[in-house]
Amino acid sequence: MSSFVHRILATDGAARAGVLHTAHGEVQTPAFMPVGTAGTVKAMTADAVRATGATIVLGNTYHLMLRPGAERIARLGGLHRFMDWPGPILTDSGGFQVMSLAKLRRLDADGVTFQSHLDGSAHRLTPQRSVEIQHLLDATITMALDECTAFPATPAEARASMDLSIRWAHHSRDAFRPRPGYGLFGIVQGSVYPDLRHECGAALLRIGFDGYAIGGLAIGEGQATTFAVLDATVPFLPQHAPRYLMGVGTPDDIVGAVQRGIDMFDCVIPTRAGRTARAYTSRGVFNLRNARFADDAAALDEGCTCPGCTRHSRAYLHHLFKAGEMLGPMLLTWHNVQYYQDLMRELRTAIAERRLDAFARAARAAWAQEEAA
């Protein structure tokens, strides 16, 4: 069984291209993880996800603990077998969902008590229980439980939230069962305040984790602020460990974050957009419901290898959404995930060839064409 190791193969400025070795296979970085919150990437089969080139997906502690239950998944052979994904799986700890979805959330020093958004039932999530659930799921990468700081937050509010996350990080580390090829990531909090981000990062480094995530972003602060936080945080993270920017983002967000040294991403944007007729392309975002596509016989995005682009026209995709056919969201979700995986591959190549900044400029110029149209 392999060790959990992140090897840096090439750099271009702050950007890195590498490979993450895990118990469930290798992940080329920078990597985008399709979101499989409830044990499925919405509107896609596991084979379809694999066909895009994705090698790692994300699952979620909060959703899977509520339904169907971690113990049940363990009895059925673990999440890899349950969802037909033998490759690496990263599981979010549930902290963000407790903040954003749960009812009547009550925090204390040792965890959080909340009511399920599904049926109002009461639940208790502690760092120890979150790690235990992720172990039952057989997560390749376990995330420490954190308290996702709301935005905006005053410095005092951000510090109190950060202090709680650091306390929970200690408990998560103690509860984690080290195994070859498995990893535990800590999460840097601190809102938009550089001094708090530095303090939190230093505390997590003292605890010691296999990777470091940057949380508490992509919740309304805007891209400029996100990038400013990365500029203040990434230089303090260890060179050898993978860096994961949680919940980000658009293609432009990802390119900018890669330029700042981020290795891993997840976001619901490509799958959610696919279900709502929005396609990410090399020329920007298309809304396939627009009447201008009704007679458009062109492929959605020339050069894309997904079935929506190689077998169908923009007019057909437009028709599917106008007719309310479920194939429309399926094809467009596949396309969007393919587009994101192609973008990550192009970023890795650009880093290896030391032309990342030129690639970023060209990509942004192309995306702006559709925005100006």
| Chain centroid, CA 313 distance in Å | 30
Phi, then psi, of 68 in degrees rounded to 5: -95, 0
The number of CA neighbours under 13 Å toward the Cβ of 352 is 13
Whether 296 sits among the annotated catalytic residues: the reply is: no
Q: How many CB atoms lie within 10 A of CB 220?
A: 9
Segment 256-281 shows an average pLDDT of 98
Tell me the average pLDDT across 156-184: 98
Q: Are 179 and 209 within 8 A, CB to CB?
A: no
DSSP 52-65: TT---EEEEHHHHH
Catalytic choice (146, 263, 266, 342): 266
pLDDT at 369: 82
Average pLDDT, the chain: 96
Residue range 156-178: mean pLDDT, rounded: 98
> Cα 220 vs. chain centroid, distance in angstroms?
17
- What percentage of residues in the chain have a pLDDT greater than 90? 94
Q: Which of 92, 146, 253, 342 is catalytic?
A: 92
**According to the model, what pLDDT value does residue 21 have?**
98
- Judged against a pLDDT cut of 80, whether residue 372 lies above it is answered with no
pLDDT of residue 293: 98
At 217, the pLDDT band (50, 70, 90 cuts) reads very high
* 22-49 mean pLDDT: 98
Q: Is the pLDDT of residue 364 over 50?
A: yes
Domains of the chain are 5-267 (3.20.20.105), 276-372 (no CATH)
Q: Quote the pLDDT of residue 95.
A: 86
Reported pTM: 0.97
**Digit-coded pLDDT (tens) for 284-324:** 999 999 999 999 999 999 999 999 999 999 999 999 999 99
For the chain, give percent helix, strand, coil, nearest 5. Answer: 45, 20, 35
Residue 245 bridge partners (DSSP): 214, 265
For the ranges 73-77, 145-149, 356-360, which has the lowest average pLDDT? Answer: 145-149
At 176, the pLDDT band (50, 70, 90 cuts) reads: very high
pLDDT at 370: 66
Averaged pLDDT for residues 178-188: 98
In this model, does residue 4 exceed pLDDT 50? yes
Between 100 and 89, whose confidence is greater? Answer: 89
Query: Cα–Cα distance between 110 and 322 in angstroms, integer?
Result: 50
Percent of the chain exceeding pLDDT 70 equals 98
Lowest mean pLDDT among 88-102, 252-266, 295-309: 88-102
Catalytic residue list contains 163 = no
* H-type alpha helices, 208-301: 223-233, 251-259, 269-275
- pLDDT exceeds 50 at position 337: yes
Helix, coil or strand: residue 351: helix
pLDDT at 194 over 60: yes
Q: What is the mean pLDDT of residues 338-345?
A: 98
Rounded to 5 degrees, what are φ and ψ at 53?
100, 0
Question: Does residue 132 carry a pLDDT above 60?
Answer: yes
| Reported confidence tier of residue 135, pLDDT bands at 50, 70, 90 | very high
Give the bridge partners for 111, in sequence order: 108
